A and B are shown apart, each in its own frame.
Chain A
Amino acid sequence: MSASQYPQGDFRAPAPVIVPGHSHKSVTEKLSDMVLTHNTPLAWVITTAIGFCLLMLLIVSIAWLVLKGIGIWGNNAPVGWAFDIINFVWWIGIGHAGTLISAVLLLFKQDWRTSINRFAEAMTLFAVACAVIFPVFHTGRPWLAIYWLFPYPNTMGLWPNFRSPLLWDVFAVSTYGSVSAAFWFTGLIPDLATFRDRAVNPVAKRIYGMLSLGWRGSARHWWRYETAYLLLAGLSTPLVLSVHTVVSFDFAVAVLPGWHATIFPPYFVAGAIFAGFAMVLTLAIPLRELYKLHDFITMRHIENMAKITLVTGLVVVYGYTCEAFFGWYSGNEYERFMLKNRIYYGPYAWSYWALMLCNFIAPQILWSKKLRQNLKVVFTVCMFVNVGMWLERFVIIVTSLHRDFIPSSWDMYYPTFWDFATLAGTIGLFLTLMFLFVRVLPMISIFEMRTMLPESHAHAKAKSEEGAH
C-alpha cells in the first residue's frame, strides 16, 4: 500500500522517507553538490586525518608483524586465536548490515532502505577490506597464505583441504567481497552518470564518465538495470546468511566446549546484523549532522534501524540463553565448567558481564519510542553494541580457549600493544576509506531517492489531479 492511500495525519501512515517539499532537482542538487564542490567540511578533514594516522599505524603494525612474526601478539599455546580472529569476525559482522539493507530490504520492498543503502554497502565493502587483513596476517607465513589457500594447479601437485571451514572462509569472504563490490558498483552507475553530467571540472567529468560506462538512462537500460539489481539482491541474500554461517563454522565445527554448538550459524548471523545496524547508525547519525541530510535520513530511518537493532539484539540474547541452557542441560562437565568459567569464576567473567551490559541491557532502551527518537541515546546504545559485539567474540574465542579439557594447558591471554595497534589500525583504514567514499561518491543513491518522490509516481499524480476536481 502506498502512503497516498492514507489520509493525512492517520496514525497508521508511515512517515515519508523524504521530508515533503523536495523535487527531482532539489534532491539531485543536494546530493551531488556535496561531492561536486570545492568546500570540504573541516570535520571531514579532521576525521580523515585521524583515520589516516591510524591507517599508518596499521601499516607499521603489519610491517613489524611480517618482519618479527606473530609472536609480537599476545596469542599463546591454548589461546591460538585472539584479537586477530575476534577482529576478523567483528569486521565481517559489521559488513553484513550493508548487504541486508541493500539486498534483503530490497526483496521486501522496504522503501526506507533507499536513503541508507549506498553508504551501508560502502560500509560492507570497507569492513570486508578490514576483515581480510586478519585471515591473511594472522598466519605465521602470510606470504604463502595469500595464495596457497586458493585451488590452483601448482607445481606441488597439491590442493587445499576442502573440509576446513577456514578454507570455506576464503571462498565465503572473497565471494562476499566481490559480489558486494559488483552490487555496489551496479547501483552506482546511474548516479555516476548524474555526476558526469553535473561535474564542471573536465577531469572529474571524464573520471565519472568512464566510471558510469556510458549510462544514458534509456528505458531499456533501466529495465535491464532493475532486473540485474534484483538478481544481485537475490544472490546476495543467501550469501549474507551463508558467509557469516561459514565464519561461525570456524568455531562450531571444532570440538571445544563453548565452540561446538549448533546454534552458532543463525546466532552469528543475527549478531552480524545486530552489529552491522549499530555501525550503520553510528555512521549515519554523524554524517546526517555533518552534511545536513535531515531531509533524507529522517527519524523514520533512525527508528527503523533502531528497531532492527533491537530485534536482532533479542535474537542474540536468545542465543546467549540457549548457550547457557544447553551448557547446563547437556549434563557434560566440560560444558558446565565452560559456563561457570565464563559467568562467575573465570578470570574473564568481567568480559561476560560487560557483554551482557552492552548487548542485552543497553539495547532494551530502544523499546521506548521516545528514546528511539533521541539521537544521542540511539548513538550511545549503538556504541555499546559495537563494543558488545566485539566482546561477544572475545568471550566466545578467548574464554573457550583459555580453559578447556586439560587443566595443564590452561593459560591466560593478555593482548599486547600490537594487538591493539592492529585493531585501531583497521578502524583507521575503515574511516579513511569511508570518508574518501563520502567525498568522491554519492553517499545516498540519488536516482533511487528521485523515485521516492511523489512526482515520480504516475498514479499518485493522477490521484492528486482527481482530488483537485
Chain B
Amino acid sequence: MSQIFPKSANALARMGLVGAVGFVLCLGLVVFTLFRSTWATKQHEFVEQPIQFSHAHHVGGVGIDCRYCHTSVEKSAFAGIPPTQTCMNCHNQIWTNAPILEPVRASLRDDTNLHWTRVHDLPDFVYFSHQIHVKQGVGCATCHGPVDKMPLVYQAQSLLMEWCLDCHRAPEKYLRPREEVFNMAYEAPANQLELGRQLKAEYNVASVEHLTSCSVCHR
C-alpha cells in the first residue's frame, strides 16, 4: 500500500504547529497594538476646518491667552468655541478683506453659525468637565499638546479611557500650579512627583477611589 502523505508532510505538520501558535500570538499582539495606535485613535491628524484657523498664529505668534476665546473653560464643563463675534472683535478692523476670512464675515452677515469640526470628540456617555481640571492644576498642554505650535488643531493624546485613568490613578505625575495652567511653555520640574503630591494635598484632589469610580465620568 502506498503512503498517503509524502515525506514533506512531516515538515508541513511541524511548521503548521509552530505557525498556528505563532499566528495566535501575532494576532493578539497586532490587536493589542492596533487599538492603541495613533491610526485607531486618530492622533496627530490635521483635521480640515471651514476656516484655516491657526492657533500657532493667534497663540504662538500674537500671544492671546487661551481664555480670551475659550471663555468658559474655568467656569463650565465645556470650554466653549468662540462665537463669530469674538473673531470680529479684531477682524472688523484687520484683514477685513482677506478672502480666507470670508466665511467669518458671511457668518456675521447672515447670522449663521460657523461649522467647526470637533477634534477632541468624546462619546456622549462620557461626562468631561474642563472646569474641575483647570481648577485642580491640569495644564492645557498636558491634554491638548502644544496648541501654540499647531497651525491646525490635531488630537495630541489618545483620549482612551486607560489614558484618562493613568492620570486619575496618579494625578501627581501631571499636576502643576494653578497659575501655570494656561502657560503653554511650562515644563515639568525635575521634582514633579514631589511637587505633584504637594499640589494634590493643597488643591484637595479627590482620592483615587473616588477619581476612578464610574460615576465620576459616566453619569
Contact = CB atoms under 8 A, between A and B. Distances in A.
A127 B35 CA distance: 35
Nearest to B4: A209
A205 B5 CA distance: 10
Interface in A127-173: 153-158
A157 B162 contact: yes
Contact of A158 (B4, B36, B161): B161
A206 B3 CA distance: 10
B32 interface: yes
B166 to A, nearest CB: 8
Contacts of B166: 157
A196 interface: yes
B201 interface: no
A156 B4 contact: no
Contact of A156 (B5, B13, B32, B161): B161
Contact of A157 (B4, B5, B161): B161
Contacts of A158: 161
B165 A155 contact: no
Contacts of A205: 4
Contacts, number: 24
A156 B166 CA distance: 10
Interface string B143-170: 0000000000000001011100110000
A158 B166 CA distance: 12
Interface string B1-13: 0001100000001
B36 A155 contact: yes
Among B4, B36, B161, B165, max chain A CB count under 10 A is at B4
Interface residues of B, number: 12
A153 B32 contact: yes
Contacts of A214: 13
B168 to A, nearest CB: 10
Contacts of B13: 214
Contact of B35 (A155, A196, A209): A155
Nearest to B40: A155
Contact of B4 (A153, A154, A196): A196
Contacts of B4: 196, 205-206, 209
B218 to A, nearest CB: 11
A206 B158 CA distance: 51
A348 B165 CA distance: 49
Contacts of A153: 32
B29 to A, nearest CB: 11
Contacts of B162: 154-157
Nearest to A158: B161
A153 B161 CA distance: 12
Nearest to B169: A157
Contact of A209 (B5, B36, B158, B161): B5
A155 B36 CA distance: 7
A155 B4 CA distance: 49
Among B13, B158, B162, max chain A CB count under 10 A is at B162
Contacts of B5: 206, 209
A157 B35 contact: no
B161 to A, nearest CB: 4
A158 B161 CA distance: 9
Contacts of A206: 4-5
A36 to B, nearest CB: 15
Contacts of B165: 157
B26 to A, nearest CB: 16
Contacts of B158: 155
Given A157-B161, A196-B4, A214-B13, 13 more contacts: A155-B35, A155-B36, A155-B158, A155-B160, A155-B161, A155-B162, A156-B161, A156-B162, A157-B166, A158-B161, A206-B5, A209-B4, A209-B5
Interface of A: 153-158, 196, 205-206, 209, 214
5 contacts: A154-B162, A155-B158, A157-B161, A206-B5, A209-B4
Closest 7 CB pairs of A and B: A157-B162, A156-B161, A157-B165, A155-B160, A209-B4, A155-B35, A155-B162
